[in-house]
Amino acid sequence: MTNEGLFALILLPALGCGLIAGAFFAFSVFVMRALRDLPTAQGIAAMRSINVAVINPWFMGALFGTAALCVVGIVQAARDLADAGAGLLLTGSLLYLILTVGVTVAFNVPLNDRLAGIDPASAEAPATWADYVTRWSCWNHVRAAGALAASGAFIVALAQHAGAAGGVF
């Protein structure tokens, strides 16, 4: 792979991971807290609306486009493990795929699906909502931290590769 191609293969997922980390960070720091403080029916309605609105080309493109770049990064790193930055390219890719995408698919989406089936006016809704907010937020913290750690690994991989290439790509 050319230096420019490798540069793009490291830079683009670094940016994508940072973007996704920021979105998940916002949910962890203030969005879920604000929703938690709403009356149960309003909190459930707001989160359901968010869960529908998030299915759009911009967010899905960033989330899964970054994942696709990480898959390509794993292949590239495996092809040339001796290359400067290859270990961190592999590490960043795995962090993102496992801790961000994997956690999303295994934990956050099923919680969202369960929330979609709750009657907000039911007697069990307050307990269900409180449990949802706690569990969803916990897994969201993992997603945010995973994406941020992946972004950091990609940034260090860029620096290592640039150093090995004499400071230029």
Return phi, psi of residue 45, to 5°.
-60, -40
Residue 88 lies in a domain: yes
Q: Which two tokens stand for residue 159?
A: 């620096």
Mind listing the pLDDT tens digit for each residue in 2-28? 888 889 999 999 999 999 999 999 999
- Cα–chain center distance at 109: 13
Residue 87 lies in a domain: yes
Domain that holds residue 141: 3-164
Q: Which two tokens stand for residue 151?
A: 């972004």
Is the C-alpha dihedral spanning 71, 75, 76, 82 positive or negative? positive
Q: Hey, what amino acid is at 43?
A: G
Residue 160 lies in a domain: yes
Q: How far is CA 1 from CA 8, 25, 79, 147, 169, in A?
A: 11, 34, 10, 25, 12
Q: Residue 64, Cβ neighbours under 10 Å: how many?
A: 13
Mind listing the pLDDT tens digit for each residue in 60-100? 999 999 999 999 999 999 998 888 789 999 999 999 999 99
Domain count for the chain = 1
Residue 169 lies in a domain: no
Residue 59 lies in a domain: yes
pTM exceeds cut of 0.85: yes
Is the C-alpha dihedral spanning 23, 24, 29, 31 positive or negative? positive
